[in-house]
Structure 1
Amino acid sequence: MTTHFTEDHEWIKVDGEEGVIGITVHAAEQLGDVVFVELPEVGKTVEKGDELAVVESVKAASDIFAPVSGEVIAVNSALEAEPAKVNEAPEGEGWFVKLKVKDASELADLMDEAGYKAHIA
């Protein structure tokens, strides 16, 4: 399983055709306490860069963008009842969406972990 990062602080962990998407620890720290998460419908098709979800914190509302194109095959509905999971484990239990990746070549445009760490430094 490989993890890729966007300049907008989303991550995608890819295993075969399936990608799990969330926000980075850095993004969660910048947001502050998350109070609400709006997730897409399962079956929704998104293109790379489309709005995928919305997260609201005590500081601001932020869009979460699709790092790659694909079809939503699962959402983390636990976040609706417990949005604080995004703060507690942003790169673990606080994931947002699982996508069936349409075009794996789009991953080449994303950063690896070293590149992302340099980006936020």
Structure 2
Amino acid sequence: MMKIRDVGHAIWDRPLGRIVLLLVGGLVIAVTVMLYPPLRDVVQWFLPLGLIIWGGSRVYLYGRNDLLSLISGCLLILGGITRAVFQLIPLNELAGTVANLIPVVAIFSEMFAHHYREQE
């Protein structure tokens, strides 16, 4: 008898399964936000707060031993802060682009750091 965890790992290990799970999860979130509008603020603030928490965990877990992880964690924190400022204050096009570009660069740097942590 398979456990739910085993089924989840079997689906998640396949690329098509990941795509389907991400699409279904996004659809569930979109429908929930449309049916219950007060959740819109929670979903809107999840990205900046998630980036800050993720960056803080990277700095806390790997920051002392790995310079690349420290840099990516700090970029994640900075990206969360700039994204939050972008949501709070109306910015011009250049400032808005930078506010959205920093989290993208931070995520790619964390992927790069994760790759090198796995290689060691």
TM-score category of the 2 structures, normalised to the smaller one: under 0.3
Point out the structure with the larger strand share: 1
| TM-score normalised over the length of structure 2 | 0.25
Q: Rg larger in 1 or in 2?
A: 2
| TM-score normalised over the length of structure 1 | 0.25
Point out the structure with the larger helix share: 2
Greater RCO (CA < 8 Å, at least 6 residues apart): 1
